[in-house]
Protein backbone atom coordinates (compact mmCIF):
# COMPACT_ATOMS: atom_id res chain seq x y z
CA UNK A 1 0.00 0.00 0.00
CA UNK A 2 1.52 3.37 -0.98
CA UNK A 3 2.29 6.03 1.58
CA UNK A 4 -0.54 8.50 2.03
CA UNK A 5 0.72 11.98 2.86
CA UNK A 6 -0.79 15.39 3.43
CA UNK A 7 1.07 18.45 2.14
CA UNK A 8 -0.02 21.91 3.19
CA UNK A 9 1.05 25.53 3.61
CA UNK A 10 -0.59 26.90 6.75
CA UNK A 11 -1.15 30.58 7.24
CA UNK A 12 -1.01 33.48 4.85
CA UNK A 13 2.03 32.37 2.86
CA UNK A 14 1.11 31.85 -0.79
CA UNK A 15 4.56 30.91 -2.11
CA UNK A 16 3.59 27.46 -3.31
CA UNK A 17 6.00 26.56 -6.10
CA UNK A 18 8.19 24.39 -3.88
CA UNK A 19 5.38 22.41 -2.29
CA UNK A 20 3.78 21.82 -5.69
CA UNK A 21 7.09 20.38 -6.93
CA UNK A 22 7.29 18.14 -3.84
CA UNK A 23 3.67 17.01 -4.31
CA UNK A 24 4.37 16.03 -7.90
CA UNK A 25 7.63 14.26 -7.01
CA UNK A 26 5.86 12.30 -4.27
CA UNK A 27 3.08 11.28 -6.66
CA UNK A 28 5.66 10.21 -9.24
CA UNK A 29 7.39 8.16 -6.52
CA UNK A 30 4.13 6.25 -5.99
CA UNK A 31 2.73 8.06 -2.98
CA UNK A 32 -0.85 9.14 -2.53
CA UNK A 33 -0.83 12.89 -1.90
CA UNK A 34 -3.52 14.99 -0.28
CA UNK A 35 -2.47 18.54 -1.25
CA UNK A 36 -4.26 21.38 0.49
CA UNK A 37 -2.58 24.11 -1.54
CA UNK A 38 -1.51 27.51 -0.35
CA UNK A 39 -3.92 29.76 1.35
CA UNK A 40 -5.66 30.71 4.49
CA UNK A 41 -5.82 27.41 6.37
CA UNK A 42 -4.71 27.46 9.96
CA UNK A 43 -2.32 24.85 11.35
CA UNK A 44 -5.26 23.36 13.26
CA UNK A 45 -7.30 23.10 10.04
CA UNK A 46 -4.42 21.36 8.23
CA UNK A 47 -4.02 18.83 11.02
CA UNK A 48 -7.77 18.23 11.23
CA UNK A 49 -7.81 17.37 7.52
CA UNK A 50 -4.80 15.09 8.01
CA UNK A 51 -6.65 13.16 10.70
CA UNK A 52 -9.87 13.04 8.64
CA UNK A 53 -7.93 11.75 5.64
CA UNK A 54 -6.10 9.17 7.77
CA UNK A 55 -2.70 10.03 6.34
CA UNK A 56 0.58 8.33 7.21
CA UNK A 57 2.55 11.59 7.29
CA UNK A 58 2.01 15.33 7.45
CA UNK A 59 4.28 17.69 5.54
CA UNK A 60 4.14 21.44 6.01
CA UNK A 61 5.86 24.03 3.85
CA UNK A 62 7.03 27.01 5.87
CA UNK A 63 8.42 30.07 4.14
CA UNK A 64 7.79 32.60 6.92
CA UNK A 65 10.64 31.63 9.23
CA UNK A 66 8.25 30.63 12.05
CA UNK A 67 9.02 26.92 11.85
CA UNK A 68 9.38 26.35 15.59
CA UNK A 69 6.04 27.99 16.39
CA UNK A 70 4.19 26.29 13.54
CA UNK A 71 5.68 22.86 14.28
CA UNK A 72 4.93 23.12 18.00
CA UNK A 73 1.32 23.94 17.17
CA UNK A 74 1.06 21.12 14.61
CA UNK A 75 2.50 18.54 17.00
CA UNK A 76 0.17 19.72 19.77
CA UNK A 77 -2.82 19.44 17.40
CA UNK A 78 -1.80 15.93 16.36
CA UNK A 79 -1.58 14.95 20.01
CA UNK A 80 -4.93 16.55 20.87
CA UNK A 81 -6.59 14.57 18.08
CA UNK A 82 -5.02 11.27 19.25
CA UNK A 83 -2.74 11.20 16.21
CA UNK A 84 0.63 11.87 17.85
CA UNK A 85 2.04 8.82 16.04
CA UNK A 86 1.66 10.56 12.65
CA UNK A 87 5.11 11.92 11.75
CA UNK A 88 5.45 15.59 10.88
CA UNK A 89 8.02 16.80 8.38
CA UNK A 90 8.66 20.33 7.19
CA UNK A 91 10.43 22.12 4.40
CA UNK A 92 11.08 25.62 3.24
CA UNK A 93 12.84 28.45 5.00
CA UNK A 94 14.16 27.04 8.26
CA UNK A 95 17.02 28.69 10.07
CA UNK A 96 19.98 26.36 10.61
CA UNK A 97 20.09 27.25 14.29
CA UNK A 98 16.52 25.90 14.66
CA UNK A 99 17.16 22.47 13.13
CA UNK A 100 18.18 20.77 16.38
CA UNK A 101 15.27 22.35 18.27
CA UNK A 102 12.78 21.08 15.67
CA UNK A 103 14.17 17.56 15.87
CA UNK A 104 14.11 17.71 19.67
CA UNK A 105 10.46 18.76 19.73
CA UNK A 106 9.54 15.77 17.58
CA UNK A 107 9.69 16.88 13.94
CA UNK A 108 10.60 13.74 11.98
CA UNK A 109 12.48 15.48 9.14
CA UNK A 110 13.40 18.97 7.99
CA UNK A 111 14.19 19.70 4.36
CA UNK A 112 15.94 22.96 3.62
CA UNK A 113 17.00 24.66 0.41
CA UNK A 114 19.29 22.46 -1.62
CA UNK A 115 17.72 19.11 -0.69
CA UNK A 116 17.24 17.00 -3.80
CA UNK A 117 13.87 15.57 -4.80
CA UNK A 118 15.31 12.07 -4.51
CA UNK A 119 16.51 12.82 -0.97
CA UNK A 120 13.13 14.24 0.02
CA UNK A 121 10.97 11.50 -1.50
CA UNK A 122 13.29 8.78 -0.20
CA UNK A 123 13.16 10.16 3.34
CA UNK A 124 9.37 10.54 3.19
CA UNK A 125 8.98 6.93 2.07
CA UNK A 126 11.28 5.76 4.89
CA UNK A 127 9.23 7.72 7.41
CA UNK A 128 6.02 6.18 6.09
CA UNK A 129 7.43 2.66 6.35
CA UNK A 130 8.76 3.30 9.86
CA UNK A 131 5.40 4.72 10.91
CA UNK A 132 3.55 1.59 9.77
CA UNK A 133 5.78 -0.77 11.76
DSSP the chain: ---EEEEEE-SS----HHHHHHHHHHHHTT-EEEEEEESS--HHHHHHHHHHTT-SEEEEEE-SS-HHHHHHHHHHHHHHTT-TTS-EEEEES--GGGHHHHHHHT-SEEE-TT--HHHHHHHHHHHHHHHH-
| CATH code at position 121 | 3.40.50.280
Domain that holds residue 94: 4-132
- Domains in the chain, number: 1
The per-residue pLDDT for range 104-116, each reduced to its tens digit, is: 999 999 998 888 9
Q: Please write the tens of the pLDDT for every residue from 29-46.
A: 999 999 997 776 899 999
Q: What is the mean pLDDT of residues 58-79?
A: 92
Global pTM reads 0.92
Question: What is the percent of the chain with per-residue pLDDT over 90, rounded to a whole number?
Answer: 69
Amino acid sequence: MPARILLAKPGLDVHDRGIRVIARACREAGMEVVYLGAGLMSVADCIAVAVEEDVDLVGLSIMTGDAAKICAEALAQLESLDAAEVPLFVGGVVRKEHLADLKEMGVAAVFTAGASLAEITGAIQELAVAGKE
